[in-house]
Amino acid sequence: MAVVGGYLLLNQVQVTTSFWNLGRYGGFGLTLLPLLVGVAALFYDGRSIVGWTLTALGAAIILAGILMNMDIYFRQTSLFNTLVMLGLLFGGLGLVARSLRST
């Protein structure tokens, strides 16, 4: 029940993205700098702590930028469909919680 309710609910969600802007200019290229410098440092010395730090920091900045520029919308649906989706989801979660409790 929980899986079907979660699937139906997530099927109604629409995700779009917008452009990365830094002032009047596009800002995506600047987010690549720490990653590229970190990768270059790792090619020079694979055990470089600075290289690993810059690579991880650059990947985290890019991931955060992608997540921050997402627009998430719930598509229009009827009240009945919404109640069925939420009823299945929370009813299934309740059954899972009941099965996990000790008797």
pLDDT tens per residue across span 2-38: 999 999 999 999 988 877 665 666 667 788 899 999 9
Same-domain pairing of 10 and 23: no
State the sign of the Cα–Cα–Cα–Cα dihedral 73, 75, 80, 82. Answer: negative
Same-domain pairing of 30 and 47: yes
Helix (H) or strand (E) holding 91: helix 79-100
What CA–CA distance (Å, rounded) separates 74 from 19? 21
Same-domain pairing of 28 and 55: yes
- Which residue's entry shows tokens 């649906």? 77
Same-domain pairing of 24 and 64: yes
pLDDT in tens, 89-100: 999 999 999 999
Same-domain pairing of 4 and 23: no
Same-domain pairing of 32 and 56: yes
Please state, as a whole number, how many other Cβ atoms lie within 10 Å of the Cβ of residue 89: 20
pLDDT in tens, 58-69: 999 888 888 888
Is residue 27 a contact partner of residue 64, using CB atoms and an 8 Å limit?
A: no
Same-domain pairing of 25 and 57: yes
Domains in the chain: how many in total?
2
Same-domain pairing of 82 and 99: yes
Same-domain pairing of 27 and 59: yes
Q: Which residue range is the domain that position 33 belongs to?
A: 19-68
Same-domain pairing of 5 and 23: no
pTM of the predicted protein model: 0.61
Same-domain pairing of 3 and 31: no
